[in-house]
Chains A and B, each alone.
Chain A
Amino acid sequence: MDGPYYVDTRTPHMSADAAAITIIATNVALVPLANLPILGSNYFSYIGKAVRIRMFGRITTVATPGTITMNFLWGSGANANGTNIGASAAFTPVASQTNLSWWAEIVVRCRALGASGSLLTTGILKFNESVVVTTQLIPASAPAPVTVDLTAANVISPQVLATTAVTNTMQVHDFNFESLN
């Protein structure tokens, strides 16, 4: 409580699990639009404004699980809509694991405003080590801001994809969205 930049959470505050999704070869939203805060046009209204997202969920893998990538899309919240502002490296989960937990936390910070604005996404993704041993950093290397239109009334949508159309499933149980300043 040092000054004016207090941290506060945004609704909706999840009161039930998100539906499980099946991972395919294109991005699928992990969190339905109804569970995401609509940020509004020019939400990122000054350079340096930042938000923090924390998710906790489960994953179930099939016999040939392929690889998975977690992405954060600045868009409408629909599957594969928008600009990818932060991605993990593709990682290979262990086959035939059931309902194992994972956790992710990212910070998204505005680096430039307006129609040619930019956002820098940094974070961490950690699975139960029975399914993915290595900790995934987002990004794994060379962090850099991504140019996006910040005048659009978009959301930050966590999504996942597979390198092949396999049928691993993921589900988000809790989602926390904080404005940092």
Chain B
Amino acid sequence: MDGPFYVDTRAPHWAADNASQTLSTTFLPIVAAANLPVLGQSYFSYVGKAVRMRLFGRMTTGATPGNGQFGLFWGNGTAANGTNLGSSPATALSINQTNTSWIAELVIRCRALGTSGSLMLTGWIKHNEATLAPLLQIPGSAPVATTVDLTTTALLLSPQYLRSGSTAETMQVHDMVFEALN
């Protein structure tokens, strides 16, 4: 309580697990749009405004999962829709792991406003080390702000994931905290 920039969480505050997502070689949402806060037109209303997302979930891999990669899209929440604000490095997943946990934390900060606005994504994802040992920064290198239209109505920050392999890998998110930081 130092000043006016208090932190608060956004609804929806989850009452149940998000549905499991079967992964593909292209980005697919791991959180349904109904479980994400709709930010509204020009939500990022001043330079420096930031939000923080924390996700906790489980993952199951098959015999040939290939590499896994996390991305965060500014879009409508459907598969690969919108602009990818940043990704973890594509990193090999261990085979045949069942229901192992993972956690991710992201901060998204406005760098410029309007139709040629920009958002800066920084964060990390950590899997159960039986599935993927290293902590992965997001991005893995050269963080840079991404130009996006911040005036479009009803856009979301949509966590998505892909794997490069060919078996029925799944991910499920059990809990999400979405905080406005200022």
Contact = CB atoms under 8 A, between A and B. Distances in A.
Contacts of A63: none
A34 interface: no
A52 interface: yes
B126 A181 contact: no
B156 to A, nearest CB: 14
Question: Which of B8, B12, B126, B129 neighbours the largest number of chain A CB atoms within 10 Å of its CB?
Answer: B8
A134 B126 CA distance: 11
Q: Which DSSP category, helix, strand, loop or mixed, fits chain B's interface?
A: loop
Interface stretch (B108-116, B145-153, B162-170, B174-182): B174-182
A122 B102 CA distance: 10
A141 interface: yes
A113 B9 CA distance: 21
B138 to A, nearest CB: 16
Interface string A1-24: 111111110000000000000000
Contacts of A50: 9, 13, 175, 177
Question: Which of A49, A50, A141 neighbours the largest number of chain B CB atoms within 10 Å of its CB?
Answer: A141
A138 B126 CA distance: 12
A180 B180 CA distance: 11
Interface string B122-148: 000010110001010000000000000
Nearest to B7: A7
A58 interface: no
A178 B7 CA distance: 11
Contacts of B57: 143
B132 to A, nearest CB: 11
Contacts of A109: 13-14, 175
Contacts of B8: 1-7, 181
A107 interface: yes
Interface in B1-58: 1, 4-16, 54, 56-58
Interface in A105-154: 107, 109, 111, 120, 122-124, 134-135, 137-143
Contact of A107 (B11, B133, B177, B180): B177
Question: Which of A2, A4, A7, A123 neighbours the largest number of chain B CB atoms within 10 Å of its CB?
Answer: A2
A139 B180 CA distance: 27
Nearest to B175: A122
A7 B12 CA distance: 15
30 contacts: A1-B5, A1-B8, A1-B182, A2-B8, A2-B10, A3-B11, A5-B8, A5-B9, A5-B11, A6-B7, A6-B8, A7-B7, A7-B179, A48-B12, A50-B175, A50-B177, A52-B177, A107-B56, A109-B14, A120-B174, A120-B175, A122-B174, A122-B175, A134-B133, A137-B103, A140-B100, A141-B98, A141-B99, A141-B101, A142-B58
